[in-house]
Each structure stands twice: as C-alpha cells, then as structure tokens.
Structure 1
Amino acid sequence: MTDDERHARVALARIIEPGDELGGRWLREFGAVEVARRLVGGGEPLPGASAKRWEGLRGRVGRVRPERDLAEARAAGARFVCPGDPEWPAQLDDLGDSRPTGLWVRGRPSLRIWALRSVAVVGARACTEYGAHVAAMLGSGLAERGWVVVSGGAYGVDGAAHRGALGAGGATVAVLACGVDRPYPRGHTQLITRIAEQGLVVGELPPGDHPTPSRFILRNRVIAALTRGTVVVEAAYRSGALVTARAAQRLGRFTMGVPGPVTSGLSAGVHELLRGEAVLVSDAEEVAELVGDMGELAPDRRGPVLPRDLLEPGARRVLAALPGRAAASADEIAREAGTAKDDVVGRLYELRSLGYVERHGDGWKLTRQAMISVRGDRKEC
C-alpha cells in the first residue's frame, strides 16, 4: 500500500458512501489513485454514473481533507487500515464491490488477528430483560472461551454483549456507523471508550462523520463479513439484526438464533430465521461448537440422574407395578409386572434393601420416599 493509494482512499471515504457497489467497481477497475484524481480533480466521469450521480459525488469534493482526517484519527488513537495492509481482514474481501474503501480502527490489537476468531452477537435495541441477560451471558461465555465478541455498540442486545465480554476480561469489537472519534449513541460514550481501551472500535466513516439510517444498515454487512458467524438475540420482523443475519447467510457464514416466547414480537424475527437456515443455540458452548474448530464440542445435555434410574430394568418394572398407596401381594405384583412370582419376590427383597419398599404381612407397599419418587415419574409422563 503506497502513500498515494492510502491518501486516495482516505479522500474517497469522504466522497463514496459505505457499500456503494459502483464505487467499489471503480476502485477495482481503475484503482484508488485514478478514481480520486477524476473525482477530486474534475477529470472525465467514470463509467456507469449518470450526470446527476456524478454531480452529486463531485459536490462532496469540498469535504476532502486526507491529511487532516489522518491527523484527527491519530489524535483519537485511531489508524486507517486499507485492503492490502497487513492488518486488513481478508474475509472482508468476500463483500466484493461493496467492500469498505478502508476502515478506521481505534485500539491497540490487530483487527486481522482478532477477526480470525470472532462471533457477532446482535439483536433488538429495545430488548427485554431476558434478551439483555442472554446477550450478556453469550458475551461473557464466548470471551471466556477465547472468542472475540463483535457487535454494533447500540443500546439493548449490542451493549449487553459488549459488557458481558468486557466483564469477563475478554475481547470485543464495536463496529460503528459513524466516525470512531464520535461515539454513538451518546449514552454509550463511556462503554465505547472502554471498548477502545480494552478492545477495538471500527468504522468506515472518517473522523467526525455522523450516522444515518442507511449507514446503520450498511454497517451490518461489515459485522457479518468480519466474523465466523452471527447470533441473533431478540429481533422483530423489521430489525437491523435480521439484516446482519441475512448478510451472513449470503456470505456463507453461520447464522444462529436464540429462541424466545412465541407471544413476544421481539422473538418473531428470530423464530423466522430458525424456520430457515439458522441454527438454534442457547449458550456460548453451542455457539462455539458450531463456529469453532474440530473438537470444540458442547457438553451432552440431559436431565438429572435419579437413584431409581440406576436400578436394573427388571427391578424398575417391579417397582412400577406396585400401587401408589395400598399394599399388594406378590401374585398381584407379578401379574402387573408381567413376570414370574419367584422373580418378583427376589426383586422385592432387593428393593427393600435399597429403601424402596416395605413388607406389610403378606403384602408389599412403597415406602414414603419411593411413593414421592413414583408420583413424580407419573406426573412427568
């Protein structure tokens, strides 16, 4: 990456909007220096742009100030990373012509290294307590397992995921839809400052630029491309988090969703994803199993092992044949269990030694402890 190329890309970051595929095609076909020369210097219009479009781009030339932008970035502790730089994450190239012109990166770690083992956790801004809890749990759990948690720095699920990772002493990246020197939302200034100190704050827009609705949407493609997979925690049918998830699917990344109550509108978008190609996950272990390397397996999930589960099948059958309250003879128990009387008698003495049954004259009865256990079994059935 030459100085001329870098300065040209810094200049173009003021002119070409994030995700502009026509601008990306110009960069690919003509190179940043030539595109900047024609736009800034008033050269021949580039192919594919209407007169109105070209005039609109030329109208932004007055904002071009590469040296000043680089100086302001340095003052904020940020740097400009371009395609071809050692720190450039190669997976962003999967975006094709909508690839960022460059990225402003605030923080000490290498973005390329961190992106290699990263997961996006996104979701509703106006999330419920359940959504905030799950996002924080995922953030901390992934961080404890050595994963970098990537999100958008917004209220709700984003902020909870960032805080979960930070609270676990882990790594997190906030991808902003504005200049990295202007934390947004302002209510998250302290959080984003802490992320810049402990992790990374990333954005396509030059210092001082403000967010717009379209920039939020386009920012989500960077989150999707940067990471191995995207987890959605609470999202309505119209949600920016679903934009991130669908971008991840188009890029061949893993897409995951955390289910919620079917009565909640904030679960509707997630459930729609789960009806398609997304995978249901409930914790960080299941996320890591999906996006991680071979051998990163989530533990087997099963209910508690009860003492009666350790009995041999024949003994369990005899135990189940005893009535709930009254005593029964060995003959009655044998008929109910479908086995011979001699086998039943042997099993009953075995069960008595274990505290499950007691003898009443010629009959047998469940002990109080066994009666509670059997009732619980029948309720579950």
Structure 2
Amino acid sequence: MSGDVDEADRLARVTLSRAIEPGDLRVTGLVSELGASKVLGYLEAAAEVESHWGFGIAQELGRVDPAQVLEQAAARGIRFIIPGDVEWPTQLGALRDAGALHDRGGEPVGVWVLGSHDLRHLAGNAVAVVGSRAATSYGTEQATELSRDLATMGHTVISGAAFGVDQAAHRGALLAGGPTIAVMPGGVDRPYPAAHAQLLETIAERGLVVSEAPPGAGPTRSRFLARNRITAGLAEGTVVVEGAVRSGAMTTAHWTTNLHRPLLGVPGPVSSVSSTGVNQLIRLGSASAVTNAQDVITDVMTHAARAAGEGANVVDESFVPGPVRSLPRAVPAGASPSVAPRR
C-alpha cells in the first residue's frame, strides 16, 4: 500500500480522520499546506484553549489510538489510503483548489476502502452517474442502461448506493460484469440505506466501497454533502440522471463544475419535477445533454485530450458534443445478473 509515505504521517491522518468531520476545510486545507503531523500537533495544543476553533477537535484527538484503529479496520478487510500511497487516486488532489460548499471542501486526509481492487486503477477510468432518490421509472431505466453500457466500454461507474438513480447505476454496471465504486456518507462498514446491504456486499466483491468517514461512522447531513465532492473528485466526469433543483445530485454537479470536469445531463420530461434540476443545468449551458454512453465517452475523452494539451485547470467552453453512434447491448433483453442486489 505504501509508496513514499511516512508512517508517522499515516498515523496522524488516521487520528485526524477519526476526530474531524469529513471535508472540514479548516483541517483539510492546513493538512495539504503543512502536512498532517504538524496540523495534529497544532490541534493538540488547542486542547488548552476553549476559545480556539479546534478545541472540540482536540478533545476527540486524545481518544484515538491510530494503530488500534488500523488494526481493527484491517480485521474487517478495510484499509486506509492516503496521499503518497501507490493506490491513492491523484485526481483527488484537485479538490485542494475546488473551493468550498457548505463549509466542506479540500483534499481528504485519507479514504477508507473496502474491497480487493486497486482504487487508483478503478478510478483512473471512471464516470459518476448520480441522480434522484425518488427516481421515476424513466430515470432508473436511463441510469441502468447508461451505466451498463459505460461498464461494457471499460469504464468504472461511481455512485452513492442510495435508492433510485444510484442503485440503478450500480446495478447497471454489475449487469455488464463491470466494476463499480460506491462512495458512502458513513463508514464503509455501515450499509446505508440498510436495505442495500446485499448490494454493497456485491459492490465490495466486484469493485470498491469508499468513504472519507472512518469505520463505524453513521451518515449525517454534513457527511452526505462532503461525500458528494469525493464522488466528483474520483470521476473523470459526472452524469446527472434526474435531480431536483435542490438535491444531492446538484451538489455533485457543483463540485464537478468547480473541478473543471465534464458535467453531463440526461434530459427529462419537462413535466417531471424529478428532472427540473438537470434540465435547468442543460438550459443554462452548465451541462451537456447526453442520451447514451457514447455521448458521455465522447465528452469525457474530448475534455481529457484538450486538458492534456492546454492544462488540466482550463475550462473548456467551446466543446460541441460529437455525433451519436450506436452501441451494442451488453446483456441480452431479459437476462439477469449473476448476483441480483436486493431492493
């Protein structure tokens, strides 16, 4: 797992991961600038100053035995990956300059991973497919077909394992026999929603379950918000399939835009409340309209080629989507996946 990582840095990051809320920009920003060990020492000193912003965090630091945390996680098949590890997805580093939303932001101090696949490898060719929990039949069908075809074309599908579009996205990738990554709002050992425990078990077998929150942590509103930036940060681009104007999918869209990566939307019926957010993104020019996996790949590959030539932080405002080409179906009509996730 280690590259050129100082193990003292790993232990410091474990301690911070256990003591802070995911995406706490005050800490993530300092860690990126100064290093985890220095920030840990700075926060430990704050335990003596009740008026210090880090006082509450400092109280938690003293309760953490990082070596024990790693040992307990390893016993459950969970590993902690940090910058410098060979498995660390370097694209997460772009979150350092992606701003903040709801006081959340920055490159994570580390991520907890469940599953035997290599995170850097899977995330190196990944597309996020996100959308409404209260998805319509149109939304679930589109997410399933799109994700199945993306997986057939060799792309990892990233989503959040929620009801609705997320569930359909994971299932579509599994139907094609491809890998998928579930990014969780709580610990990777805390299936959420509970009804998706079998789905998450299957994802861990065929892909990965990832979280910025430590093992045992439950989902909270702020952790959902922080999770969405990790989803966008891991992916080459994000596709929104249904999503109201105020929704988690729009938060992921925000992060994708801030990262200067392709934001794509599947147009929905103008009469559908579930599609108001994504239709607005398309109307305002914030997202490209896509109708199939080939559209998605064309946008993502075109952006990657231009970024390689012009610099990764240049916003491409002139791209026109390429022609639609037919794509063979990955699974014959009526076929079932070898493992059927429970609803």
> Structure 1 length as normaliser, TM-score?
0.74
SS at match of 1:59: helix
Aligned to 2:32: 28
For residues 211-250 of structure 1, what are the structure 2 equivalents within 5 Å? 211-250=219-258
Which one has a larger percent helix, Structure 1 or Structure 2? 1
Determine if the alignment matches structure 1 residue 206 to structure 2 residue 210: no
Deviations, residues 232-260 of structure 1 (Å, cap 9, x unaligned) = 00101111001101110111010011111
Aligned partner of 2:18 among 14, 18, 24:
14
- Amino acid corresponding to residue 298 of structure 2 in structure 1: E
Give the count of matched residue pairs. 296
Q: Which of the pair has the greater relative contact order for Cα pairs under 8 Å at 6+ separation?
A: 2
Cα 1:222–1:259 change in 2 (3 A) is: same
Q: What is the Cα deviation at residue 217 of structure 1?
A: 1.0
Percent identical:
48
For residues 110-259 of structure 1, what are the structure 2 equivalents within 5 Å? 110-259=118-267
- Amino acid corresponding to residue 38 of structure 2 in structure 1: E
Deviations, residues 212-237 of structure 1 (Å, cap 9, x unaligned) = 01110111011111111100001011
Aligned partner of 1:109 among 101, 117, 123:
117
- Amino acid corresponding to residue 32 of structure 1 in structure 2: A
Unaligned runs of 5+ in 1: 302-381
Cα 1:63–1:151 change in 2 (3 A) is: farther
Q: What is the Cα deviation at residue 16 of structure 1?
A: 2.0
Larger radius of gyration: 1
For residues 186-335 of structure 1, what are the structure 2 equivalents within 5 Å? 186-276=194-284, 277-292=286-301, 299-300=324-325
Q: What is the Cα deviation at residue 40 of structure 1?
A: 4.0
CA distance in 2 between partners of 1:189 and 1:62 (Å): 33
CA distance in 2 between partners of 1:191 and 1:71 (Å): 26
CA distance in 1 between partners of 2:10 and 2:325 (Å): 51
Aligned 8 A contact 1:105 1:200 in 2: yes
CA distance in 1 between partners of 2:271 and 2:195 (Å): 30
Deviations, residues 193-227 of structure 1 (Å, cap 9, x unaligned) = 10001100000111101110111011101111111
Aligned 8 A contact 1:14 1:63 in 2: no
Unaligned runs of 5+ in 2: 97-104, 306-320, 327-343
SS at match of 2:120: helix
CA distance in 2 between partners of 1:103 and 1:137 (Å): 29
CA distance in 1 between partners of 2:254 and 2:33 (Å): 28
SS at match of 1:232: strand
Aligned to 1:95: 95
Name segments (4+ residues, structure 1) moved above 6 Å.
none
- Amino acid corresponding to residue 17 of structure 2 in structure 1: A
CA distance in 2 between partners of 1:153 and 1:174 (Å): 6
Aligned 8 A contact 2:160 2:183 in 1: yes
Cα 1:190–1:300 change in 2 (3 A) is: closer
Aligned 8 A contact 2:43 2:55 in 1: no
Q: What is the Cα deviation at residue 38 of structure 1?
A: 3.5
Deviations, residues 355-377 of structure 1 (Å, cap 9, x unaligned) = xxxxxxxxxxxxxxxxxxxxxxx
RMSD of the alignment, in Å? 2.0
SS at match of 1:93: helix
CA distance in 1 between partners of 2:293 and 2:36 (Å): 41
Deviations, residues 236-291 of structure 1 (Å, cap 9, x unaligned) = 11110011011101110100111111111101001111012200011111111111
SS at match of 1:292: helix
CA distance in 1 between partners of 2:263 and 2:207 (Å): 24
